Amino acid sequence: MPGLNTAFDWIESSRDDMTRFMLELLKIKAVNPDGGGKGEYERAMFMMKSLEDLGLKVTRYDVPDGRVTEGVRVNLTTTLEGQDERRTLWFAAHMDTVPEGPRELWSTDPYIPVLKDGKIFGRGAEDNGQAIGSTFFAMKAIKDLGIRPTMNLGLTYVSDEESGRD
For the residues 127-139, what does the mean pLDDT come to? Answer: 96
Phi-psi region of 27 (alpha: psi -120 to 50; beta: other; left: phi over 0): alpha
Query: What separation, in Å, do the N-terminal and C-terminal C-alpha atoms of the chain show?
Result: 46
Which residue among 42, 62, 144, 161 is the active-site one?
A: 161
CA neighbor of 27 nearest in space, from 131, 109, 136, 98: 109
100 is catalytic: no
DSSP for residue 34: G
CATH of domain 4-158: 3.40.630.10
What's the whole-model pTM score?
Answer: 0.93
pLDDT digits (tens, 9 = 90+) for 52-101: 999 999 999 999 999 999 999 999 999 999 999 999 999 999 999 989 99
Catalytic residue among 96, 100, 160, 162: 96
Q: Identify whether 161 is a catalytic site residue.
A: yes
- Domain spans of the chain? 4-158
pLDDT tens digits along 44-62: 999 999 999 999 999 999 9
